[in-house]
Amino acid sequence: MDGSLAERAGVHDAGYDGDVRLGIFLLAARFPGQDDAAALSRTVEAAAAAERAGFDDVWLAEHHFMSYGVVPSGTVLAGHILAATGRIDVGTAVSVLSNQHPVALAEQAAMLSLLSGGRFRLGVGRGGPWRDLEVFGTGLDRYEHGFAESLDLLLAWLRSDRVAWAGERFSFREVPVVPRALVPPQVTVACTSRATEELAAVRGLPMLLGMHVGPDEKAAAVARHGLPDAPHISTHVAQVADTREQAVKTLMDEMPRWLGPGLEGYVAVDDRPRPSRDPVGYTRRMCELHPVGSPDYCVESLVTTVERTGIRHLILLVEAAGSREATLENIARLGADVLPGVRAAVAGS
C-alpha cells in the first residue's frame, strides 16, 4: 500500500463491520517441561499460524509472576507480532489498567496503531487483587476504586490533541498528545461483573466476555449493557478432533497438567482467602460450554453463541492441549474445517 505510516493508519478499519470475526486468544502458558523462551516462541509461532489459517485477529493475555501466562506486557508482544505479520489484527486481552499509568498505555497503543496501519486493538481490564499491585506500587485502592478514572484518562488521551487532568488519582498540567493516532484503536473492556458492564456501557465501549460463562449468561450481559450492536467479543476454548469424544479426552488429559500449576500463581496482595479452583473440574466445564469436538460440533457451538447473544466477534483459546505441536495443528484444522462453516452459517442467517 502506498503512503506513509501516518496516512495508512487512518485506512484500516479497526471497528465493527457487521460480519462475523474469528480470532485466537493466546495465554502464553508455560507447559510442563517448557521454559519461558519456549512458551514465548510458541506464542509468536501460533500468531503467524493464525494469519495463515485465515483468522481475523490474535489476542494476547497479560500476567505477572505466574506460569499461567509468561507475557508481562501485551503491548510489547503485540508490537513484535504486528511486525512479523502483514494482515491480521493484534489486540491485548487484556492490558491491566490497575498496574500501569493510563497515559503510558495510551501512548503505546497510539504508537502501535500508527506503526501497524491501524491493526492494533486495545483490550483493557481491572485485573485482580493480586500481588502485582504491591510490586508495581499502584496499591489495592487503585484496583478497587480507580478503574473508572484510569479508563477515562486513557480514553481522553487517545481521543484528544492535548490533555490536562485533575482527578482523584492523576493530576497534571496540559501537555500535547504525541504520537496521536489518526484513528484511535478500538478499546474493549473485559467485564466479569455488573459494575464493569455498566461502566463500559456508560462510555459506549464494547465488552470482552470470558470463558467462564456460556451463551445465556453472555446474552444477559449484552442485554444489561444495552448496546447489542456494539462490537462485543466472546471468548471460548476451542479444540477440534475427528469426534467429540476425542477432543474432550485430549483436553481432560492435557489441560489440567498446565492449568493447575498456573492457577497457583494468583496470590492476593492482602492475603484474602481465594477459593481454590479444581483444574479437572474447570476443564470439564470448559468442554461443556465451548467448541470442543468434531468440526461440525465446533461450528454448531460457535453459531449458537452468535444466535443467542448477537455477538459476532469470537476469539478462541487454541493452546489448551498443552504442546506446541497440538496448538499448531489445532489452529490449522480450525482454520480449514471450522471457520468456513461458521462464516457461511452466520452469513446465511
Nearest-angstrom CA–CA distance, 189 and 186: 10
pTM reported for the whole predicted model? 0.94
| CB count in 10 Å sphere of residue 249 | 13
Q: Check the CA dihedral 307-311-315-316 and report its sign.
A: negative
Is the pLDDT score of 11 beyond 90?
no
- DSSP at 15: S
Nearest-angstrom CA–CA distance, 196 and 183: 25
Helix, strand, or coil here: 340? helix
Helix, strand, or coil here: 85? coil
Query: What b-and-e string marks burial along 154-193, b requiring 16 or more CB atoms within 10 Å of the CB?
Result: bbbbbeeeebebeeebeeeeeeebeebbeebbbbbbbbbe
Is the pLDDT score of 94 beyond 60?
yes
Closest CA to 78 of 56, 102, 109, 50: 109
Question: Cell numbers of 117, please?
Answer: 496501519
Q: Quick one: pLDDT at residue 7? A: 35
For 301-333, write each residue's pLDDT tens digit.
999 999 999 999 999 999 999 999 999 999 999
Give the confidence band of 18 by pLDDT, cuts at 50, 70, 90.
Answer: low
For 212-252, write each residue's pLDDT tens digit.
999 999 999 999 999 999 999 999 999 999 999 999 999 99
Q: Quick one: pLDDT at residue 291? A: 98
Is the pLDDT score of 170 beyond 70?
yes
Is the pLDDT score of 10 beyond 90?
no
